[in-house]
Amino acid sequence: MDFKILLLVLCITFTSVQGAIPPCCIATAPIRPRMLGRMDDFTIQNSYGRCEIDAVVVKIREKRYCAPMQQRALVERIKQKRLRNNYMYQSS
């Protein structure tokens, strides 16, 4: 009986810890600007943390795409342009 309880506690602990670790990009590929226009959000992945490579992680329709850091400026410009456009529509 005690073994079953210990096993249950270990399973619960493993699944809760596994969900807390963010998935890392293992490779990058350029993303076309047209596709970036549909971007929902983005984050920056750094190699000095848990992950091995630097990448721009772009979220498009609940999917994650890993872009090289050279596309960071383009991604940030698109995000700023979208925020400006949303602000203009809201203030009208």
Residue by residue, what is the 3-state secondary structure of 14-42? Answer: HHHHHHHCCCCCCCCCCCCHHHHCCCCEE
Residue found under tokens 């529509």? 89
Is 19 a residue whose pLDDT tops 90?
A: no
Can you give the pLDDT at residue 80? 87
Is 77 a residue whose pLDDT tops 70?
A: yes
Can you give the pLDDT at residue 82? 80
Instruction: Taking residues 73-81, report their average pLDDT.
Output: 90
* Residues in CB range of 32: below 8 A, 6 or more apart: none
List, in order of start, the domains of the chain with CATH numbers.
24-91 (2.40.50.40)
pTM for this model (two decimals) = 0.67
**Pick the residue with more confidence: 57 or 8?**
57
* Residues 65, 58 contacting (CB under 8 angstroms): yes
Find the helix or strand (DSSP H, E) in which 66 lies: strand 63-67
Per-residue pLDDT of 22-71, as tens digits, reads 689 999 999 998 998 899 999 999 998 889 999 999 999 989 999 999 99
Can you give the pLDDT at residue 50? 87
* Residues 67, 56 contacting (CB under 8 angstroms): yes
